Amino acid sequence: MSKIIDGKVISSRLREEIAREVEQLKKAVGRPPGLSVILVGEDPASQIYVRNKEKTAKELGFKSEVIRFPDTISENDLLRKIEELNNDQSVDGILVQLPLPEHIDEFKVTLTIAPEKDVDGFHPVNMGRLLIGKPYLVPCTPLGIIKMLDYEGIEIEGKKAVIIGRSNIVGKPVAILLLQRNATVTICHSRTRNLPDIVREADILVAAVGKAKFVKGDWIKEGAVVIDVGINRDENGKLVGDVDFEEAQKKASHITPVPGGVGPMTITMLMYNTLQAFKKHVGMEGEQ
């Protein structure tokens, strides 16, 4: 039986640390870190995400504001608002909740956010810095995965890591982070051949596919570490990951559950990134 990597426990420890640091810095700097979240439209999932982000930010002592726009806002007006926030000295982090309505170009939006305030880490400058080994703000989910592995004392160096998924927000950046920690990394995707055989070689498996229970128990190598990023509903409407948890936990040494694994870490890393952006903004050294 494997050890469950409890994202809620790790998150709450990290959040305590962040809150303590925010408290100290608030006194030293004279203001709290500021996070501005832009929400366009009424997408129900986005509303929940944004509400959780705002709630967590406030709990940790940040100044947090949610700027809501109807889905009829023009691209120009949205870009103008982002530029205003770029120039606002009380704002350290800017996040535009995705997805955006079709008439708005997401890439243009990402490009408009100042890289030093881009707490999602999606701006090409932040992505490029990550790639060349000079990270500034790193995408939250991949960063949360590395923090979980470190928290559990799981060695990365020299391990064979297999990532299923090559999205810009999860698969690619987590692959780069694992590579920088000296894992030997294989990235798989929908055109990969013999996927189960490749997964069977993984010491560390990261599943970021978006398909319920896609990874079967007999794909898992004995003693592997399994990180399940997926958030899916099964045929009964129950929240499940990309990995068949019941089966995989018989083989894995460590495994993340869904819910309660990677999910809570993502929002915690958003707070972590906002704190790093704040520290850099006020001339203190941030860290990754």
Q: Which residues are catalytic?
A: 53, 97, 120
Q: Please report how close the Cβ of residue 212 comes to ligand NDP at its closest, in angstroms.
A: 9
Q: Does 240 bind ligand NDP (CB under 6 A)?
A: no
| Of residues 74 and 168, the one with the C-beta less far from ligand NDP | 168
**CA geometry: angle 137, 100, 270, nearest 5 deg:** 25
Task: Choose the binding region for ligand NDP from 31-39, 61-69, 71-79, 261-269 (rule: CB under 6 A).
Answer: 261-269
Cβ proximity to ligand NDP: between 95 and 170 the closer is: 170
Six token digits for residue 212: 């319920």
Q: How far apart are CA 226 and CA 191, in angstroms?
A: 22
What is the 8-class DSSP label of residue 228?
A: E
Q: Does 268 interact with ligand NDP (rule: CB under 6 A)? A: no
Tell whether residue 145 is a contact of ligand NDP (CB under 6 A): no
The yes or no reply on residue 142 touching ligand NDP (CB under 6 A) is: no
From 85-93, 112-120, 166-174, 218-226, give the range in contact with ligand NDP by CB under 6 A. Answer: 166-174
Closest to 31 (Cα-Cα) out of 58, 66, 61, 60: 61
Q: What backbone torsions phi and psi does residue 137 show, to the nearest 5 degrees? A: -115, 125
Give 148-216 as a DSSP string.
Answer: HHHHTT---TT-EEEEE---TTTHHHHHHHHHHTT-EEEEE-TT-SSHHHHHTT-SEEEE----TT-B-
Binding mask 98-137 for ligand NDP (x = CB under 6 A): ----------------------------------------
Q: Which helix (H) or strand (E) holds 91?
A: none
Indicate the SS3 state at residue 8. helix
Residues 189-208 that bind ligand NDP (CB under 6 A): 189-192, 195, 208
Nearer to ligand NDP, 91 or 178 (CB): 178
Q: Which CB sits closer to ligand NDP, 91 or 195?
A: 195
Cα torsion 215, 217, 222, 225: sign: positive
Contacting positions for ligand NDP (CB under 6 A): 141, 164-167, 169-171, 188-192, 195, 208-210, 229-232, 262-263, 266
